[in-house]
Amino acid sequence: MQYMDKAKDFVADKVANIEKPSASVDDVDLKHVGRDGITYLAKVTVVNPYGVSVPVGEITYTLKSVDRVIASGNIPDPGSLKGNDNTILEVGMKVPHSVLVSLIKDIGADWDVDYTVEIGIVVDLPVFGNFTIPLTHKGEMKLPSLQDCI
């Protein structure tokens, strides 16, 4: 029985220390201004340490400003991560105009909104199954000016 416990501990230790994909948010910027809202685009770089491509099951996102959720959703089946490479994923987040109007208090003279974006990238890893890469990024985003809407 003692050998079985040692074997379990050894396997658990090795599995816990296996390198997993990692990610970082590179940029969040204005993508599109439309009648029904504004779309912001987060560019996320994901590093795949494996020699094979890894499928991405979905991307979830929550965009917050002043501790309020202003956009959330998911992107099903966005593709896969290239083997032994960096992959850039684009996460589009649509914010209705009505939500932006309610944020007027946070908008200063510089027309910026402080935000926090939380992104979860769910990848299907061999042996492990689904693994979520959690990301949190804070920054300031510009609201569109009248010139951007024309």
| Domain coordinates in residue numbering, the chain | 19-149
Q: What is the CATH number of domain 19-149?
A: 2.60.40.1820
Residue 147 has pLDDT above 60, yes or no: no
Better pLDDT: 5 or 43: 43
Better pLDDT: 34 or 80: 80
Taking the C-alpha atoms of residue 80 and residue 121, their distance in angstroms, rounded to an integer, is 11
Q: Across residues 22-40, what is the average pLDDT?
A: 89
